[in-house]
Structure 1
Amino acid sequence: MELGARLKEARETKQLSIEDVQKITKIQTRYLQAIEKGNFSAMPGNFYVRAFIKEYATAVDLDPDLLIEEHKAELPASSDESSIQYTRVQRSRKDTSSTKSPAIFSFLPTAIVIILIVGTIFAFWYFYQKSQADDTNEPRQTEEDNGGNDEVQLPRDQQENADVGDGEEEQEEAPAEDEEETDVEEEPEPTLTLTDQGNAEQTYEFINTTDQLVVTLNTDNEHWLEIENGKGNVFYNEMFYANQTPYEQDLTGEEQIYLRFGNPTSLDIKINGVTLELPEDIEPSKVQKVWINVQNSAE
């Protein structure tokens, strides 16, 4: 019995329709029908022939690996499987290391502003004291010219100005300290955490610190790609190619994101700029399913 006939027989034994299998596997009906008829040329690529057959077999309680082994002569050769490497994992590590060094210099603008403020206050104080000293020396010089017998006092308005100047200097120093404390405060950064993982399926929690939610995808390969929200609304459901990158999908306001994609190791996914890192032990030949629960903290 051919592979497609075995899958169809197993489906009918479980009293499932093609539409039922489509809901379980998320594979389009036309591809499921092509598998049952043995028309593998209708698949989006040789890589997806084995991936879709495994999904179908799992849905009807057949051993996918054993089924592939028994009918491998019927399947087209796939050269992609032997050459797939964990390029996306390596890229994400490089991205992480490259973003650490600029953080060291993030405090330089703050330090420069503080130095300028302190320098300005010091210069004001220095020249003010110097001008007061010059004004004081003029009456003393007059006293010496008169023989030093008469006592000379500063005019009352100059004495009052000196007292007021000291008070203004103290008031100007206080805002500088407040500004320094304000500049040191940092805004919270978004985080993406893996909370659960199973057979080619992972769940993440994303803490969003902004009012927007944007998914960005980059690749140098080709992938079957599906993007949905938690309510089943479909935003993307077709092949995704390298010439489409970078691709952005605005999902602002969504509380849950669902991604399903093939060739997982060569697809770079970011949520608001935060890289989604898949577990290192994933099987690169399997289609991956990713659920992302969104928690908004910027409210």
Structure 2
Amino acid sequence: MSNGNSPEDERPIEDVSHDVSADVSEEARPSVGRALRQARIAAGSTVDDISAATRVRIAIVHAIEADDFTPCGGDVYARGHIRTLAKAVGLDPAELVAQFDAEHGGRPAPTPAAPLFEAERIRPERRGPNWTAAMVAAIVVVIGFVGFTFVKGGDDGGSEASVAEGSEPTAGGSVSSTAKPKDPADPKPDPTDSAIAAAPQDKVTVKVSASDGRSWISAKDHNGRLLFDGLLKQGDSKTFQDSEKVNLVLGDAGAVQLYVNGKKIEDDFRPGSVERLTYTKGDPQVG
């Protein structure tokens, strides 16, 4: 018979001091927000001081110190604010961010880079309009148009090389709206015998040459349609034709020389005089 303890009572007591101290340390460790608040107070700073130093809004500083990270707008922004505040109060930013990740489900897994690059590589390239080719084509068109206009203007230029022809008479007395250019003629020399013979017999041809000065001239056909109205410079000439008659107004009759149906008019007009004349298909006569 034994008066001592039973074998079960003599078993060694398990050493649980390590586990207890670990649990106590975990429970004693303050939260992220509380740790930031304690460090701020220990540093002698107010929330306003921390907000001014870190540019984190006062409301967000208060919320983080209360472990409310909703105003941060997401875990990414919350980690950034925690790092900033931790540096301002002298704590280790990495340790607090790791504690935050442990308390909020950890950092999200990174997206693999390979699928992103693969998707970017197979994405079809969008091509825009070829503006360079369009500009080159437009420039070529403009240059061609300018060259054509220049050549066309050179062919049609020269008032002395044109004949203003009146309208043909019709049964209804209608007036033709077109003027037919004739072969160019040199206005300076007097008409030769060949030029007189070439004057058409079925029309009246009147040539006005500003031989002694410049003069204002107006010419109309038998229907009253204006063939010319303007200043004739010295040395220039104009020729008018009509099927019936040509009406002239000379601003300075003494400065011009007239040729009607190939014949020179010998009228002695005074310099500066204004003359109103009419010539028909018959012999030259003043109307």
- Give the structure with the higher percent strand: 1
Q: Which has the higher contact order (CA 8 A, sep 6+)?
A: 1
Same fold (TM over 0.5): no
- Give the structure with the higher percent helix: 1
Look at both structures and tell me which one has the larger radius of gyration over its CA atoms: 2
Q: What TM-score do the two structures reach when normalised by structure 2?
A: 0.37
